[in-house]
Amino acid sequence: MAKTRILVTGAGGFIGHHLVKRFVNERFWVRGVDLKYPEFEPTIAHEFEILDLRRWDNCLVATRGIDEVYNLAADMGGIGYITAYLAEVTRNNTQINTHMLEASRLNGVKRFLFSSSACIYPQYKQNTVDVTPLREEDAYPADPESGYGWEKLFTEELCGYYWHDYKFETCMVRFHNVYGPLGTYEGGREKVPAAICRKVALAENNDEIEVWGDGNQTRSFMYIDDCVEGLIRITNSNCREPLNLGTDKLVTINELVDMVATIAGRKITRRHDLSKPQGVRGRNSDNTKLRTVIDWEPQIPLEVGLEKTYKWIEGELKKAGRVPIHLEVSSLS
């Protein structure tokens, strides 16, 4: 029996790289596509092509001979990035997603996974830190994050139209704050857990680090291994409706800082910068529908995932000579 041939777009990025490794280890044939190679370790994809998927012709090339598409390619980053470049992010991602959907259909792809986001949820439902967990049906009436959230919500609708018009099989996953090793941890595109891990790793005991906002804003965070497992289960579920993929453990950003400081063995003081973007006041995932559809939800505790993530980021900073020697010695004592 022929192997299923899988395409992972965004395979040079964080989630895409982990997904490629999982599929290859399970003996699927995998093509990775991105504008760049993975940053921190080589890809093990059977083929890896550098293609700009904003271009229609490149999407046709990327999807040739493919059975399943995991479309993770996106212009994205943390809250500071996606709120600073509204037109650019929206335009780039809309081009990628519309071209990839149509190219996949024309090339006979059997199933298409679209990576959406919790940013599609209405901001009026996220005004308090003790936010009610967001259910999939809460997406409407619509009021998503400007730019990034709107293009994700639009593409969810487009996926539904492709089933309506062409009976083209799509599935959609709404990510809630994915973190873990091998992810960007500086430069402006990093997410909150990685940014905090970097700041704490570079700090000495009793140092102060900057926290955007008042630190009382709340989120839930999902470790990368759970993300990959959920992606595969959702794709195999035949569910055509969007599904949340995240944990339902709500923590404040201040609590997140304290957890990382404990892992690092340091006492850290927080300096809050209210002028920086902090996003909605609270966001949490309701996993009721996820459990019903795939009989599973993310399992890895935040403390466990954060420890793995912190140690990896600290290790990268040590390799770059950015962690002072006396900090390396003290952390081992």
Q: What is the pLDDT of residues 29-66, one digit of tens each?
A: 999 999 999 999 999 999 999 999 999 999 999 999 99
| pLDDT value for 332 | 38
Residue 179 appears among annotated catalytic residues: no
Domain limits, the chain: 5-178+222-245, 179-219+249-284+301-328
User: What superfamily would CATH give domain 179-219+249-284+301-328?
Assistant: UDP-galactose 4-epimerase, domain 1 (3.90.25.10)
For the cut 50, the answer to whether the pLDDT of residue 330 exceeds it is no
Q: Are 10 and 72 in contact (CB under 8 A)?
A: yes
| pLDDT value for 321 | 92
List, for residues 98-152, the tens digit of each pLDDT value. Answer: 999 999 999 999 999 999 999 999 999 999 999 999 999 999 999 999 999 999 9
Looking at 70, 148, 162, 179, which residue is catalytic? Answer: 148
H helical segments located in 26-109: 56-62, 79-82, 86-106
**Looking at domain 5-178+222-245, which of 3.30.530.20, 2.70.150.10, 3.30.70.141, 3.40.50.720 is its CATH number?**
3.40.50.720
d(CA 83, CA 77): 9
Strands 68-71 vs 47-50: parallel, antiparallel or unpaired: unpaired
Q: What pTM did the predictor assign?
A: 0.94
Strands 218-219 vs 251-252: parallel, antiparallel or unpaired: antiparallel
What residue ranges in 118-191 does DSSP mark as E strands?
170-175, 178-179
